[in-house]
Structure 1
């Protein structure tokens, strides 16, 4: 079973975290949510409280197939300010393993860490200037090697289905999308 850790910081964008968590779990992926704050309870950008599965200090993360950073502000900034998160992301990338970020996180976290250097990437409109070293695509979802980036809240579903296809397979991703009636959103 594939293993994913989702780092949650106060101020994360609700749908950018919860839709991928839901889709990946439906697809049989072992998803662990990780609080990077002082408490297991993490508050989203819109005041929704989520209890994380573990605290950052309880994680090893070396068994991860994918490390995922939701966006939202100030969530993305809070992720970048956490030295442990930055180290885990860099280590994951340097090992050639998958890293994913959506909305502000590609620009606020991945770009300053050098993860996007020479890669195609997308992010929330208005943050593209911060994608130094990357080739901005303006697509909903962009995959370049081991890095997947998503544009924003509306990209959460296609972003999640792309991650599921990478981690499991396209057939499973398509089946989950069909079961969730995703095609109606794209009609």
Structure 2
């Protein structure tokens, strides 16, 4: 089973981060939350404080298959200013591993010029920072190994898309049904 690391920076969007972790864990996908600050305690954009599983400085990414960047401000800005996060993203893309970002966080990928010629979506107003992307405006855009989501209202779509990519359509359907998420899932 693919393993996931989800970055937490002060100012992260709680719904996107915690909802995604919850849904992935419901699918029995191993997820580690990774603080990019100097402490495990990270406070979100709406003053909800959580304890991350690992610090970025002690995290071993060698057995991780998927990186997830939640949005929120200034969380996405803090991710974008973290050199180690950006290096890790570039390494993942080079190795053909998955990178997923939602809301404002696709700006990190755009700034690294990883979205050139790729379908992408983001929170309205951040499109200029998705340098070279084909902006879809969709809830979730998947182009190769890059997955982007529009914003907090679409966290379920984003997280369930990750479940499908990692664990398949049947697992996605099972998790969605367990959540009473009544959106139709195409076969």
Question: TM over 0.5: same fold?
Answer: yes
Partner in structure 2 of residue 38 of structure 1: 38
Pairwise CA RMSD: 1.3
Partner in structure 1 of residue 117 of structure 2: 118
SS of the aligned residue for 1:182 comes to: coil
Offset at residue 59 of structure 1 (A)? 0.8
Offset at residue 185 of structure 1 (A)? 10
- TM-score calculated relative to the size of structure 2: 0.96
Partner in structure 1 of residue 174 of structure 2: 175
Partner in structure 2 of residue 86 of structure 1: 86
Alpha-carbon separation, structure 2, partners of 1:74 and 1:88: 20
Residue range with higher mean Cα deviation, 50-59 or 176-185: 176-185
- TM-score calculated relative to the size of structure 1: 0.96
1:123-165 CA-partner distances (Å, limit 9, x unpaired): 0001112111100000000000000000000110010000000
Alpha-carbon separation, structure 1, partners of 2:6 and 2:183: 27
Unaligned runs of 5+ in 1: none
SS of the aligned residue for 1:101 comes to: strand
Runs of 4+ in 1 over 3 A off after TM superposition: none
Aligned residues: 185
Alpha-carbon separation, structure 2, partners of 1:134 and 1:63: 29
Partner in structure 2 of residue 150 of structure 1: 149
Partner in structure 1 of residue 16 of structure 2: 16
